[in-house]
């Protein structure tokens, strides 16, 4: 991508401990001078790792990108319970709180308990979370010491590996669906073991196709007006362009006439497709022009037509 091209796509940030996800977004806005910026899935201030940030028209793809599965590496402290389900909260119970000399659960017991979280389950989100209760964020109610009546939500855990056990501290790796709370896992694991538990550290290793190998350290995204052109040029080389996003969705290429119809949101006819219609079931199809640029996302319609649902290309005046 040329340095004078629009800065848009997804920038994967390696978030350190401390800043909120919104802090990271604000940092990217200041460094790039672009207002249309948004993250693709909250990381708690204590958490580190992959935080994809959408810039420009890529923000319109957020509903498709945020729902991707995630992979985490976690440190869980057993024997202690906090009101936030992580180490930053106030301690409210746990085996070590009652008896500092309590015996830690065995590695076999921990492994057996973790196995119970695999597959399709329902998870009760932490009371200190961004879930809404009657339109109000749960964490706001918790801070006001008001009742937080959250409902269990369906989640899926594809992998849950126990990496190490050191007395009351365990390390594990989790691959889960979007919407899964590792803090809730730490709390629920402690409940199953009968000793309590909370999350001590968390690193998000992957978010869909975005990995730590793709990530730019937040320290490299600085608010320096004098060096803004240099920063933009550097970030441009790390940016994942619109055309490379959502590779898991099938793609069709359109003729020049089809590209004009796609830009206006008009239905695409079989004659507008250079490759012919796709067969099979798919939630959406990427529509590309003759240069491979993403024009829109479309859904199959009757008669081999495609109906644009999300138009990304700008209208070209001829």
**Active centre residues (catalytic):** 44
The distance from CA 194 to its chain's CA centroid, rounded to whole angstroms, is 31
The backbone torsions φ and ψ at residue 110, rounded to the nearest 5 degrees and listed phi first, read -65, -45
8-state DSSP, 273? B
Nearest to 262 by CA among 217, 236, 295: 295
Question: Angle at the Cα of 126 (from 133 to 183), degrees rounded to 5?
Answer: 150
Residues 6+ apart with CB under 8 A from 42: 21, 130
Residue 14 pairs in a beta bridge with 50, 217
Distances (CA, A) of 57 to 14, 101, 224, 289, 294: 22, 56, 24, 17, 11
3-state secondary structure of 111: helix
């Amino acid at each position: 991508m040329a340095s004078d091209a629009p800065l848009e796509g997804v920038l994967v940030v390696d978030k350190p401990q401390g800043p909120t996800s919104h802090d990271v977004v604000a940092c990217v806005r200041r460094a790039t001078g672009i207002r249309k910026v948004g993250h693709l899935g909250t990381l708690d201030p204590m958490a580190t790792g992959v935080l994809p940030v959408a810039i420009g028209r890529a923000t319109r793809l957020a509903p498709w990108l945020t729902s991707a599965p995630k992979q985490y590496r976690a440190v869980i402290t057993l024997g202690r319970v906090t009101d936030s389900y992580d180490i930053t909260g106030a301690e409210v119970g746990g085996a070590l709180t009652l008896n500092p000399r309590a015996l830690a659960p065995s590695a076999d017991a921990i492994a057996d308990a973790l196995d119970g979280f695999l597959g399709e389950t329902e998870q009760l989100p932490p009371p200190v979370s961004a879930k809404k209760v009657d339109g109000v964020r749960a964490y706001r109610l918790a801070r006001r010491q008001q009742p937080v009546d959250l409902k269990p939500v369906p989640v899926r855990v594809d992998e849950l590996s126990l990496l190490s056990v050191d007395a009351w501290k365990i390390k594990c790796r989790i691959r889960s669906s979007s919407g899964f709370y590792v803090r809730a896992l730490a709390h629920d694991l402690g409940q199953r073991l009968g000793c309590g538990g909370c999350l001590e550290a968390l690193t998000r290793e992957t978010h869909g196709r975005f990995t730590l190998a793709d990530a730019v350290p937040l320290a490299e995204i600085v608010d320096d007006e004098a060096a803004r052109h240099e920063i933009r040029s550097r970030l441009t080389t790390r940016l994942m362009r619109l055309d490379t996003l959502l590779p898991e969705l099938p793609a069709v290429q359109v003729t020049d006439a089809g590209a004009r119809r796609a830009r206006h949101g008009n239905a695409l006819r079989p004659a507008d497709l250079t490759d012919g219609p796709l067969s099979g079931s798919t939630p959406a199809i990427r529509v590309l022009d003759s240069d491979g640029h993403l024009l829109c996302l479309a859904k199959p319609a009757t008669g081999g037509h495609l109906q644009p649902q999300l138009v990304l290309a700008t209208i070209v005046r001829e």
